[in-house]
Amino acid sequence: MALQAGFVKRVRDIMRMDAGINGDAQRIEQMVWMLFLKVYDAKEDDWELNEDNYTSIIPEEFRWRNWAVADDNGHAMTGDELLDFVNNKLFPTLKNLSVDPSTPVKKAIVKSTFEDANNYMKDGVYLRQVIDVINEIEFDDVKESHDFGFVYEEILRDLQSAGSSGEFYTPRAVTDFMALMIQPKLGEKMADFACGTGGFITSWLGQLQKQVTDTEAQKQFDDSIYGIEKKPFPYLLCVTNMLLHDIEVPNIYHDNSLRRNLLDYTEDDKFDVILMNPPYGGHEDKSIQGFFPDDLASSETADLFMSVIMYRLKKNGRAAVIIPDGFLFGLDNAKVAIKTKLLTEFNLHTVVRLPGSVFSPYTSISTNLLFFDNTGSTKETWFYRVDMPSDRKHFSKTKPMELKHFDDCIAWWNDRKEITLEDGPKAQKFTVDYLLNEQGCNLDLCGYPHEEEEVLDPLDTIRNYQEKRAALNAEIDHVLDQLEALLPGGVTE
């Protein structure tokens, strides 16, 4: 456990002195490619032991054990020599490794992870110091690698800058809760089409681990996951994460899930379980909407992902998705079409509402968990509101949400009753008729009574305002459409 205490702080303190590192995002990126090589090196030890003819894809002199570790005489490269080696030899080599379709994934992964990696540090002496700290990690002890998982989590949580740096990390408590409630079974295949650093996959594996009793099971275990991540940096983190979990051939792809014709998906593209937190307010080219049929096309990436999920969920498959409030109350044409499809073609059985600070400090935006399956159309939907524990006003980086904060919800899950508190309904069910007609697909139910008073971060304040204004405008337009239809010359659809 000595590993955890101060590891991140020590590395951060060293990097702080290097002029090349500008800001937290670069600092994390820097830490991570080095960790990857260290982790990969440890894995290669295992592979060499277990396989007869294992050869590394990395040329000998560029393997971590040969350049980063001190030699028998205690000498190790440092200063300008180290800097030159890393910038002019190591990186170019790893970026240009020879890879073709027949290359095993666990080897090809080195090239793909270095495709967009960068060495930001400009001082070889500090670089040496950081490498030394990283080298202190020993992987012989299995426990150590689990501890390292925690350190890894801390690094991910450490991403201070809100928005673009932090958007690919979902709090562990939430992914664990969703994986728990989805009840993984050995033999099933799960997918996360925007897997980020692999949080959902990790939680899924955590649940499934208990069912692994033999090598056959182990194989099913390894094959049970599938992830796509668009951004190179989180992709690198995810791959490293998978290696840490002994998934040697992780089905993680560096790609953009939205860049495929929605209507082209076949049975082979479908999964038993989908767990994900699609990015909201994503920056996608307008051309991406061309891959979607007109009624489902939207400029909001979360909307597009909902459609991808619906098209890639197997018959009788189960899904749990995190979506923002805007999806619940939004009434623009695309959202109404998507929600109508969700309610009429899928069984949206549960909506769990989460308090605003769950994703703190990345964003203060309010999120919700949609649980649905592909067994038929919805008859009724249960809404449940998770309330803040009484011991605090907000979740924060130092006091984040934990799985235990879901205990009430878990207890309620299999014995569902309506609950009404002083300030409003906490758990209530609604018929699909009510949701489609009276509510007109506005699913903002069992919400938080004092949400209005929360002061959000400026970017979230703006987004929230724009979404709500769009929803109000959509309602107004709906009334005006009806009015128009009754006027001479008005368009009637």
**Contacts to other proteins by CB under 8 A:** 16, 23, 162, 361, 393-394, 396-398, 455-458, 460-462, 465, 468-469, 472-473, 475-476, 479-480, 482-483, 486-488
Whose Cβ is closer to other proteins: residue 331's or residue 370's?
Answer: 331
Nearest approach in angstroms of CB 394 to other proteins is 7
Nearest approach in angstroms of CB 325 to other proteins is 15
Whose Cβ is closer to other proteins: residue 410's or residue 462's?
Answer: 462
Provide the strand spans (E) within 355-482.
367-373, 380-385, 419-421, 424-431
Instruction: Give the pair of three-digit tokens for residue 75.
Output: 């000498």
Report the 10 Å Cβ neighbour count for 435: 24
Nearest approach in angstroms of CB 430 to other proteins is 22
Whose Cβ is closer to other proteins: residue 158's or residue 387's?
Answer: 158
**Alpha carbons 338 and 112: distance in angstroms, whole number:** 35
Q: What are phi and psi of 278, to 5 degrees?
A: -65, 145
Whose Cβ is closer to other proteins: residue 445's or residue 456's?
Answer: 456
Nearest approach in angstroms of CB 402 to other proteins is 17
Whose Cβ is closer to other proteins: residue 421's or residue 480's?
Answer: 480
Whose Cβ is closer to other proteins: residue 335's or residue 429's?
Answer: 335
Residue recorded with tokens 């067994």: 375
Nearest approach in angstroms of CB 9 to other proteins is 10
Q: How far is CA 11 from CA 24, 32, 34, 139, in A?
A: 12, 11, 12, 19
Q: How far is CA 372 from CA 44, 202, 252, 321, in A?
A: 41, 21, 24, 9
449 preceded by a cis bond (ω within 30 of 0): no
Q: What are phi and psi of 429, to 5 degrees?
A: -110, 150
Is the distance from CB of 260 to CB of 291 less than 8 angstroms?
yes
One-letter amino acid for residue 7 of the chain:
F
Nearest approach in angstroms of CB 366 to other proteins is 15
Nearest approach in angstroms of CB 92 to other proteins is 32
Whose Cβ is closer to other proteins: residue 163's or residue 187's?
Answer: 163
**Alpha carbons 182 and 203: distance in angstroms, whole number:** 11
Nearest approach in angstroms of CB 392 to other proteins is 9
Whose Cβ is closer to other proteins: residue 20's or residue 206's?
Answer: 20
Is the distance from CB of 292 to CB of 208 less than 8 angstroms?
no
Contacts (Cβ under 8 Å, ≥6 apart) of 452? none
Whose Cβ is closer to other proteins: residue 163's or residue 290's?
Answer: 163
Whose Cβ is closer to other proteins: residue 147's or residue 153's?
Answer: 153
Nearest approach in angstroms of CB 244 to other proteins is 28
Nearest approach in angstroms of CB 479 to other proteins is 5
Is the distance from CB of 288 to CB of 304 less than 8 angstroms?
yes
Contacts (Cβ under 8 Å, ≥6 apart) of 123? 17, 18, 19, 20, 83
Nearest approach in angstroms of CB 23 to other proteins is 7
Nearest approach in angstroms of CB 358 to other proteins is 15
Is the distance from CB of 251 to CB of 47 less than 8 angstroms?
no
**Alpha carbons 253 and 239: distance in angstroms, whole number:** 9
Whose Cβ is closer to other proteins: residue 393's or residue 417's?
Answer: 393
**Alpha carbons 31 and 38: distance in angstroms, whole number:** 11
**Alpha carbons 331 and 443: distance in angstroms, whole number:** 10
Contacts (Cβ under 8 Å, ≥6 apart) of 201? 190, 192, 195, 225, 227, 238, 241, 242
Whose Cβ is closer to other proteins: residue 101's or residue 488's?
Answer: 488
Strand 419-421 relative to strand 347-353, pairing: unpaired
